[in-house]
Structure 1
């Protein structure tokens, strides 16, 4: 069971509430790795947090494999840079397949509320974070626009986990999209 968080914990982590055993479902976008100015690789979060690590069972794994196998690979384009306060990001086009994927996961595991409900029940729009945190609002968008449009062909979703704040994330599983005959 996740530990109870305090406001001091959130301050120590820059406000992000990662707890030991958190998992997430993400899409790595290696085509954008060179653009990212965060400690993590270029990715789109499908669902964070997913289930606590201790709740990932063989049945969970089978259900995830089946769900992702029934989802065709996704061609995505990143053509513009956008901002939220303290965040510079690329919105993927189209984003409907990503929203559909998140909704399918949430339908099966409704207790997995995106971003712990910080941004409402639906979470954030699909995005690839380029930079976040202090100083981000001063980074000109033009530093990234020469590399756009960027095209990616997404063929898998990763289950990742953390040991807690500041420890980073590690890959646990990779689930292929559109696996014929699954």
Structure 2
């Protein structure tokens, strides 16, 4: 995801009203230089926010509630062009969530098809180039090889994942909208005051309605 709005809804950058489903990994926040909370994307983009009604929230709550919480270990760096990321192991629990959501809403194509069938689960640490020929990130981080060497002593990072977040693109930033608990039936709606923060081109995080509980920090 990027900082500007797209008018036709195709490819990059982000579109106002986009939503995404992510899991936050606050234990990895000290390592991240990507301008967003540490997270692993379940699906970006999901449905336009205008389509995310009470029925959709209820279905998401039931879907995620049927999956148990899980633990991940982040101990190895990987690279996409212009991107440094961490591999979450095991990755199967995240893949399972993605498969279920895209199976229920097949029109929600991962990354709008820019990366074919999508990307493997990853936690973005830093970005020096925007995807799809978008050029360098203004004021981007130091060279990725140097950054990886600096951060390596802090690995591995382990985290327990208990929540999936729906987030919404508004203007030039993303905001938390709803949080869905893993391994629990839906609870009543909890709303929160929005705020925004610049997001990352390779992933996202959170939203508020039936099947949800109070969301975490905004982007």
Q: Which runs of 5+ in 1 are unaligned?
A: 11-15
Q: Post-superposition shift, 1:137? A: 8.0
Aligned to 2:184: 179
Aligned to 1:48: 44
Aligned to 1:168: 173
Query: 1: distance between equivalents of 2:43 and 2:174?
Result: 14
Query: 1: distance between equivalents of 2:157 and 2:167?
Result: 24
Question: Contact 1:75–1:151 at 8 Å: present in 2 too?
Answer: yes
Query: 1: distance between equivalents of 2:185 and 2:59?
Result: 16
Question: Contact 2:180–2:186 at 8 Å: present in 1 too?
Answer: no
Query: 1: distance between equivalents of 2:13 and 2:96?
Result: 25
Aligned to 1:73: 69
SS at match of 1:89: strand
Where in structure 2 are the equivalents of 1:133-172 lying within 5 Å?
133=128, 134=136, 138-139=143-144, 140=146, 141-164=148-171, 167-172=172-177
The alignment's C-alpha RMSD in Å is 2.0
* Greater percentage in helix: 1
The two structures have a TM-score, normalised by structure 1, of: 0.87
Provide runs of 4+ in structure 1 moved above 4 Å: none
Q: Deviations over 1:72-119 (max 9, x none)?
A: 001000011111110000010000111111000000000000000000
Q: Post-superposition shift, 1:170? A: 0.3
Query: 1: distance between equivalents of 2:110 and 2:82?
Result: 19
Query: 2: distance between equivalents of 1:19 and 1:115?
Result: 12
Where in structure 2 are the equivalents of 1:10-159 lying within 5 Å?
16-120=12-116, 122-133=117-128, 134=136, 138-139=143-144, 140=146, 141-159=148-166
Q: How many residues align?
A: 170
Query: 1: distance between equivalents of 2:142 and 2:37?
Result: 20
Q: Which runs of 5+ in 2 are unaligned?
A: 1-5, 129-135, 188-219
